Structure 1
């Protein structure tokens, strides 16, 4: 049996102290991997349904015959990126994370199933500021400036209203999203994970920028409360 608790990695970053922890849940008898920024829990391997659905719902909005090039903003524990690779249509996957240490967790094999991202020839992990890249002309691929993609899947902030850094908020405006669409091919998809319920104001912003958009409520069992929790996945085309 594994140790009850272990801090696997820690680093000071511009947005605070980020750490990766593994603990044995005494009730479920499973290893739980958690990411914290300072004293705030950012993500947990106990709650991954909506992160996986972010990839599935986003890619489902593309034509069945598509061979999409995909960007994932936010690597984290890797669930969205791995779910994207499980779609056999995906031709390439670029995963952007602002914290090099998070990429290192996967490259060093500190997380279960990390090899699915680091050994798949379709996948590349890139250190960079997703929000600055979205706003700029060069885009997300440092090897191919100006490259466009078929799908951009984003899971960084808690929600469009609750952001990890003040500068991130600009993306969730009409102007910010219009700049992001410059990196999408015609018919491309933008999908966003949110910890909050559907936000009518943000839905109106999406409707102004995209031809079609929808907010999907994703429910899942919560083993900590014994009840049910929900996240939101926005999908815009």
Structure 2
């Protein structure tokens, strides 16, 4: 087997560092012992983007917020579905993630960060959401492995009562909050309902070929 090569380490504000590995032509981002994402398995990240766009029902000049750039699979999926009048704001907490996207992973990035529809903000997505009122048609969150602060404890606030209330306020009428998770969490689905959302739980495979682990995406529509 081809050995895994450590490419770089990136500091996470308030959390343990992320490590970028390469094995052959594949990249992996690892948090401690958890492989958060890889170029081998990104089907559910693509689905997060495409399925969110499908639920916007062709709204003109849609404005989407993506929390967590990751490896850019969700962003590229969104850009492939949206029209020229759309806007996408990407909020990334870790500067190293964007440096990797423009550096060793530039071929994977494929220029999506330079798309004229895209604005990149460095910072905490919770703060961006908290400042917004009826701003976004969709908010896509993939900053942890599910509705808990795996990457850093402060992220727990995104999934609590105040975080969901802020997300609902930040969405336009009928807007969609989409949350990616590596596993199911029925209690979180009920929490979304109590926060004033109509909730759809979708299970998708990790790989685009329909194989791999089953991941979960909650699509919560503002009522």
TM bracket (short chain): 0.7 to 0.9
Q: C-alpha distance in 1, partners of 2:164/2:101?
A: 30
Question: Normalized per residue, which structure has more helix?
Answer: 2
Please say if 1:233 is aligned against 2:217.
yes
TM-score (norm. length: structure 1): 0.82
Say if 2:169 is the partner of 1:182: yes
Tell me the distance in 2 between the aligned counterparts of 1:44 and 1:66. 33
| CA distance 1:65–1:73, shift in 2 (3 Å) | closer
1:216 aligns with 2:216: no
Contact 1:149 1:184 survives alignment (8 Å): yes
Structure 2 gap ranges (5+): none
Report the Cα offset of residue 222 of structure 1. 9.9
User: Shift of residue 118 of structure 1?
Assistant: 2.4
Q: Quote the offset at 1:105 in angstroms.
A: 1.5
The 3 A distance-change label for structure 1 pair 190 and 39 is same
1:48 to 42, 50, 54: 42
Give the aligned partner of residue 200 of structure 1. Answer: 186
- Contact persistence 1:150–1:189 (CA under 8 A): yes
Q: Secondary structure at the match of 2:40?
A: coil
- Aligned to 1:64, the other structure's residue is in SS state coil
Once residues 174 and 42 of structure 1 are traced to their aligned partners in structure 2, the CA distance between those partners, rounded to angstroms, is: 25
Contact 2:43 2:208 in 1 (8 A): no
TM-score (normalizing by structure 2): 0.87
- Pairs within 5 Å for 1:134-145: 134=129, 136-137=130-131, 139=132
Give 1:174 deviation, angstroms: 2.8
CA root-mean-square deviation: 2.3
Distance 1:211 1:17, change over 3 A: closer
1:180 shift after superposition: 1.5
> Does the alignment pair 1:171 with 2:158?
yes
The structure number with the bigger radius of gyration is: 1
Distance across 2 between alignment mates of 1:222 and 1:117: 20
Q: Which residue of 1 aligns with 2:11?
A: 12
For the 8 Å contact 1:56–1:84, the answer to whether it is kept is: yes
Query: Which of the numbers 108, 117, 126 marks the counterpart of 1:113?
Result: 108
Correspondence for 1:103 among 86, 98, 106: 98
In structure 2, the CA distance between the partners of 1:207 and 1:85, relative to structure 1 (3 Å rule), is same
Stretch deviating more after TM superposition (8-17 or 169-178): 8-17
Displacement, 1:82?
Answer: 0.8
SS in 2 for 1:86: helix
Instruction: Indicate if the aligned counterparts of 1:77 and 1:111 stay in contact, CA closer than 8 A.
Output: no
What is the CA distance between 1:102 and its match in structure 2? 0.6
Contact 1:20 1:34 survives alignment (8 Å)? yes
Cα distance between partner residues in 1 of 2:106 and 2:5: 13
Please say if residues 98 and 128 of structure 1, whose CA atoms lie closer than 8 Å, have aligned partners that are also in contact: yes
